[in-house]
Structures are given as C-alpha cells and as structure tokens.
Structure 1
Amino acid sequence: MFGRAFRMPRSRALRVAIGVLLTFLGLLGFLPVLGFWMIPLGLLVLSYEFATVRRLRRRSVVWWERRRRPPPR
C-alpha cells in the first residue's frame, strides 16, 4: 500500500488478532506509548480478511494515487 510492501503472518487467526489488537489499543491513544496511529494500521491488517474493510482500503489507495498524479496538460 502506498508504494510499500509488508509481510503478513500466514495464520488467518493471527492476522485477525493483530488487527483487532492494534485497533483496540489505538482507541486508547490518549495514553502514553499508545497512539491513534494504531487504528489505521489495525484496519489495514483487518482489510486482508474482511471485504468491507478491504473496499475502504482500495478506495483510499485509488484516491491517493489520483491525488499524486500530476494534472493533464
């Protein structure tokens, strides 16, 4: 995503657990060490398992690429 590649665990249960954990801990972002940056990362991990989140991820990638593309001359 956004020009970067990340390795994901092979186990579906582990991917779901990591995604849920990151999202939940991101909601506690007002605490030290934890941050709100964990919410999008958790949703990104979950997007590999659930179609609803995958659609949102794909739309954001398309929007980002259109925004980066220079305007036609």
Structure 2
Amino acid sequence: MSTRKYRIDAERGRLVLDRLEIPFPRSRSGRIAAGTLLIGGGFLGFLPILGFWMVPAGLLVLSHDLSIVRRRRRRIAVWWRKRYPQVKRAG
C-alpha cells in the first residue's frame, strides 16, 4: 500500500491529490510552462487572488518532468517525516 497522497495520471492529464483531481497539460513543455507560471505567481502571493500556495503546487508539477526538482522534493519529504514523526497522516 502506497503512502503517497498524490499521483500524476498522465493518461488523463490530471494531478490527483487524495480526492481532488486537477487537470494539467499532457505535453512535457506544457507542464514545465504551467509549473513555472505557478511558481512565478506564488512569488507574487501578496497580491489578491495569487497565493503562496502556488509555489509548492508548481514544484509538484515540475517534479514530474525535472529530475532535480523530484530529488529535492523527495529529500524534503524524507526530512519532514524524520523531523515530525508524530504528525498523523490522513488515511
């Protein structure tokens, strides 16, 4: 049983976060552009509508295609679980 609460369904072009499904581009260049735009919008999070939540969402989209982002994301996830083992996980 997998402990991941997210996955990328490339066939349907969706990012699945637990029960929430978010459409994203099927092409690699489209996903890279969408991830970059999400991160850029996240840096403008102090403005209305845009938010700082866009940075991790953009990194998650980019981690599908860029190995360096994927490795960094995985390192942070491992570090987080070691640092906060008492945090209950939904499941």
- The verdict on a shared fold, with TM-score over 0.5 as the criterion, is yes
Superposed CA RMSD: 2.3
Point out the structure with the larger strand share.
Answer: 2
Structure 1 residues 60, 2: closer, same or farther in 2, change over 3 A?
farther
Is 1:24 equivalent to 2:48 in the alignment? no
**Higher share in helix:** 1
Match of 1:56 among 72, 77, 86: 72
> Residues 16 and 46 of structure 1 are in contact (CA less than 8 Å); yes or no, is this contact kept in structure 2?
yes
Gaps of 5+ in 1: none
Give the residue type in structure 1 aligned to 2:79: W
Q: How far apart are 1:63 and its partner, in Å?
A: 2.8
- What residue number does 1:14 align with? 30
- 1:2·1:61 contact (CA, 8 Å) conserved in 2? no
Within the alignment, does 1:38 sit opposite 2:54 as a pair? yes
1:17 Cα deviation after fit: 0.9
Distance 1:2 1:30, change over 3 A: farther
Match of 1:5 in 2: 7
Structure 1 stretches of 4+ moved >4 Å? none
Which has the higher mean CA deviation after the structures are superposed, 43-52 or 17-26? 43-52
TM-score (norm 2): 0.62
| Percent sequence identity over aligned pairs | 53
Asked whether the equivalents of residues 27 and 39 of structure 1 are also in contact (C-alpha less than 8 Å), the reply is: yes
